[in-house]
Structure 1
Amino acid sequence: MKGSRAMELPEDFWIPVPLDTNNITSMSPFLVPQDHLGSSSVFYGMAAFMFFVFIFGTSINVLTIACTAQYKKLRSHLNYILVNLAVANLLVAGVGSFTAFCSFACRYFIFGALGCKIEGFLATLGGMVSLWSLAVVAFERWLVICKPMGNFIFKPDHAIACCAFTWVFALMASLPPLFGWSRYIPEGLQCSCGPDWYTTNNKYNNETYVMFLFGFCFAVPFSTIVFCYSQLLITLKMAAKAQAESASTQKAEREVTKMVVVMVLGFLVCWLPYASFALWVVNNRGQSFDLRMATIPSCLSKGSTVYNPVIYVLFNKQFRSCMMQMLGMGSGSDEESSTSQSVTEVSKVGPA
């Protein structure tokens, strides 16, 4: 089905196709399967994907938190930020992905209008904390390795303060729809909830809210990530050039370059479709769009709960060895990754 216009009634959801308004509740995404929007195979396929994200996203993030709690050697300032990221991912996976799985399996949002608001708020909150945590990780790496502030030492207290700020910023972004600036309604195939970026109802000022989200919660974190990692790569290349005879430094430069590329690409895959599609809808009112395609960006953003810990945690040998030890699959040796060791070496020749 194509969606091209918004209807003023009812308040809790948006009917994406022209229907008889005298019988509008017969198509409510809170009451009946939304089979008019897609085939059963589409709904069940999305349910399978959301189940995968729920199981793996919940498991890996719980394991991240448990490992940090059990092993003192993991309690560094960087790992505090990674735990903050894991908590945010767990919120999205445990609430957003689970409710989406149940709803896709039933082909409508089974938790009702109030459940939609709760799920939309908590999933948005977790997503925003995740976005800002990724920016904080990049900022921390820039401070520690590039040393723009000279001998300033990034301590655990600084990491905890940065984590607190991510929740403050996330609340600033996720609370407004509960108080009338936009609203949380079913989106896409009507089986998950998020901010209303479909309608033009001036009562909610949806356009300004979407622009706020795009600027404050996507453009700013992404710009921070790109700036910090580009500076990191420049520093590593300078160090590699200065230490042309050092095999470990050359290896570090290659490995970190690959990891930075993967991190930035992963960020874009998870969040660019959602941000771009919402921005396109806001700036192209009246244009038709396929609601099945509108569902994909939402699901990709929830998929970040699996991607983030894989890149930021499992690629860390110390974290990985602790996880394997906890699961009884390894000796738990205290080895550090060659990249981390070499980056430490590189940072010594970085800007003072």
Structure 2
Amino acid sequence: MRGNRPVEFPEDFWIPIPLDTDNITSLSPYLVPQDHLGSPGIFYSMSAFMFFLFVAGTGINTITIACTVQYKKLRSHLNYILVNLAIANLLVSTVGSFTCFYCFAFRYMILGPLACKIEGFTATVGGMVSLWSLAVVAFERWLVVCKPLGNFVFKPNHAIACCAMTWVFALCAAVPPLVGWSRYIPEGMQCSCGPDWYTTDNKFNNESYVMFLFCFCFSVPFSAIVFCYSQLLLILKSAAKAQAESASTQKAEREVTRMVVVMVLGFLVCWMPYASFALWVINNRGQPFDLRLATIPSCLSKASTVYNPLIYILLNKQFRICIRQMLGMSGGDDEESTNTSTTEVSKVGPS
């Protein structure tokens, strides 16, 4: 509201109204550079960062997929899940990061509303598949190491079913904004797109959609990850206590503990800013906030396309050795270690 006159908000974007502007369409992020939100240097820095994520994320995830295709020994149930994670990351880096790199270079969503919806949808699908894949990895480690189901064996067909489930859950989260439950609009500095966290328009039911994402797409997988890894650590500590004189057991416990901490922290770095920002916005309607800060959650989630593979794949000895061999950097690793290696997490467990 400007004085006694209502201000019409278009259905395909939302930005704060400057004090000297009643015509919000003149500042459309699809039409003009958004220099009122920051200096050109900020936009160009973001463009460079997104270009790095595009190159690094595309490269490392493509290598992971190619390595799995080339080496049959990598086609185990856990590695299927890691490849599913790599495919989701590749989707985000090639579409999401590249679109952001291009638009930040022009300082506005130059590709238009349709491209915004495609980028928002793609980033949401890839992000949700990645998120649920991390939960499935934790679940698989819990089943294999802690053996809560006794002699149940987690087989490749179980892994494939879990991977399919991650895509179903991702589509459940990503499709609604395309059909009227919330919407995809430019976010932050208006050069990337995501669900509408900002408005309370009853037409789009944004608040209920945000709560759905927070509960189903953040709280549930995060709770699963914390539960599974906490049980894993308890088993490892019990094994280490029972074998206090075994240096290898003590070393394995330290390594697994370090990996679990890194995995949980990686999850929180990726998704906690998004969840916290969305909840803050819907619970503090009308409070001013800097749109430049609103860009940070989007950047951190896209950065996961680089650091997730580093955590989950390059710390997997099988993948690490095979990638080095594929790239001609085998450096003395013998074939036997390649065939018998498993992730460090599965080295210690009840026998």
Alignment TM-score > 0.5, same fold: yes
Query: Could you say if the C-alpha distance between residues 111 and 243 of structure 1 is closer, same or farther in structure 2, counting changes exceeding 3 Å?
Result: same
Give the alignment of 1:39-188 within 5 angstroms. 39-188=39-188
List per-residue Cα deviations over 1:64-88 (Å, max 9, x = no partner).
0000010001000000000000000
1:245 is displaced (CA, Å) by 2.1
- Name segments (4+ residues, structure 1) moved above 6 Å: 19-22
Alignment of 1:274-293 (within 5 A): 274-293=274-293
Aligned residue number for residue 316 of structure 2: 316
Task: Give runs of aligned pairs for residues 169-318 of structure 1, distance below 5 A.
Answer: 169-318=169-318
Alpha-carbon distance between aligned partners in 2 of 1:319 and 1:148, rounded to the nearest angstrom: 27
Q: Does the 8 A contact of 1:182 with 1:206 survive in 2?
A: yes
Shift of 1:18: 4.1
Helix, strand or coil at the partner of 2:185:
strand
Assess, with a 3 A threshold, how the Cα gap between structure 1 residues 338 and 48 changes in structure 2: closer, same or farther: farther
Change (3 A) 1:219 1:327: same
Deviation at 1:24, TM superposition (A): 3.0
Q: 2 CA distance for matches of 1:348 and 1:27?
A: 62
Q: Is the 8 A contact 2:318 2:342 kept in 1?
A: no
Contact 1:96 1:122 in 2 (8 A): yes
Bigger drift between 322-331 and 273-282 goes to: 322-331
Q: Which secondary structure does the structure 1 equivalent of 2:297 belong to? A: helix
1:149 maps to a residue whose letter is L
Per the alignment, residue 3 of structure 1 pairs with none
For the residues of structure 1 that align with 2:250 and 2:64, how far apart are their CA atoms?
30
- Residues 134-187 of structure 1 deviation map (CA, whole Å, 9 limit, x = unaligned): 000000000000000000000000000000000000000000000000000000
Residue in 1 that maps onto 2:334: 333
Aligned residue number for residue 3 of structure 2: none
Contact 1:173 1:217 in 2 (8 A): yes
CA contact (8 A) 2:252 2:347 kept: no
Distance 1:77 1:338, change over 3 A: closer
SS of residue matched to 1:36: helix
- 2:200 maps to amino acid: T
Provide the C-alpha distance between the structure 1 equivalents of 2:304 and 2:148, rounded to a whole number of angstroms: 30
Q: In 2 relative to 1, CA 11–316 (structure 1 residues): closer, same or farther, beyond 3 Å? A: same
Q: Percent identity?
A: 76
Native 8 Å contact 1:7 1:15 kept in 2? no
Structure 1: distance between partners of 2:340 and 2:288: 52
**Cα separation, partners in 2 of 1:116 and 1:343, compared to 1, 3 Å:** closer
Report the AA paired with residue 187 of structure 2.
E
Shift of 1:250: 1.0
Q: Does structure 2 retain, via aligned residues, the 8 Å contact 1:316–1:337?
A: no
Are 2:340 and 1:346 equivalent residues in the alignment?
Answer: no
Return the letter of the residue paired with 2:121.
F
Q: Which 5+ residue runs of structure 1 have no aligned equivalent? A: 1-5
The DSSP-based 3-state class of the residue aligned with 1:186 is: strand
What is the CA distance between 1:9 and its match in structure 2? Answer: 2.3
Greater Cα shift, 17-26 or 305-314: 17-26
Alpha-carbon RMSD across the aligned residues, in angstroms, is 1.9
